[in-house]
Amino acid sequence: MTTVLIVDDEQSMRRLLDLQLTQKGYNVVTASSGEEALHLLKSVRIDLVVVDGMMPEMDGFELSRKIREISETPIVFLTALDDRESLLKGFESGVDDYVTKPFDSEELHARIQAILKRSKVEAMNGHELFRSGLHVNIESRSVTMDGEKKQLTLKELELLILLMKSEGRAFSREELLTHIWGSHYEGTTRTVDTHVKTLRLKLGSPADQFIHTVWGIGYKFEVME
């Protein structure tokens, strides 16, 4: 059974999400703070984390960063903030997807399903990609650049794999949005731009030169020899 960790300082929200996700067939564990969540992640097998953005002491952004230091477990962010800066901050913290409050329980369930499905597909299609110092192990979902491990979110990894597998092909933002987030995703193509930006930053030089902007179209992966 898939286990989802709910992290929220409000007891009423934890109970609501627990009820909704349990009814969908998930095993749910809850935490009222970031510290409690980190302890559970180290002691319990967690398949996905739902994190509230606004919490005292350790907010969702900081918690997401700390989770990424120890785990590649997918993270869904619950936030009342939908401005570009806040969303960018969330993705830079390691968040895979977000749901804006107030949210519909079916939307949250759909996003969780989509992330878990992509995660399982990638785990089953185990092989490796090598390109000029960049090494991606799809089975273990690990990425290294010149031997240095890079911590990527699930969607950043999916984006990198898609571009690497089709080296030289220019994808439009709309194509990338459909491939990575699904045809029913209601976000904008700015989501793609944000993920490309954070992916370039995380990979660092010279790998940040691998993902090229194709003006008027979108992006492509190409190593300039």
Query: What pLDDT shows up at residue 124?
Result: 45
Strand runs labelled E in the chain? 3-7, 27-31, 48-52, 75-79, 97-100, 128-131, 134-137, 142-145, 148-150, 171-172, 211-214, 218-221
CA distances from 94 to 8, 13, 69, 104, 122 (A): 18, 23, 10, 23, 18
Tens of each residue's pLDDT in the chain, 225 residues: 789 999 999 999 999 999 999 999 999 999 999 999 999 988 888 889 999 988 888 998 999 989 888 777 889 988 877 667 777 777 888 888 888 877 888 888 888 888 887 666 554 445 778 887 888 888 778 898 888 889 898 899 999 999 988 888 899 999 999 888 887 777 788 999 999 999 999 988 665 578 999 998 999 998 875
Please state, in angstroms and rounded to a whole number, the distance separating the CA atoms of residues 164 and 180: 14
Amino acid at 130: F
Question: What is the dihedral sign for C-alpha 77, 33, 141, 150?
Answer: positive
Q: What is the pLDDT of residue 184?
A: 74
Q: Residue 90: enclosing H or E segment and its boundaries? A: helix 84-92
Q: Name the pTM for this structure.
A: 0.59
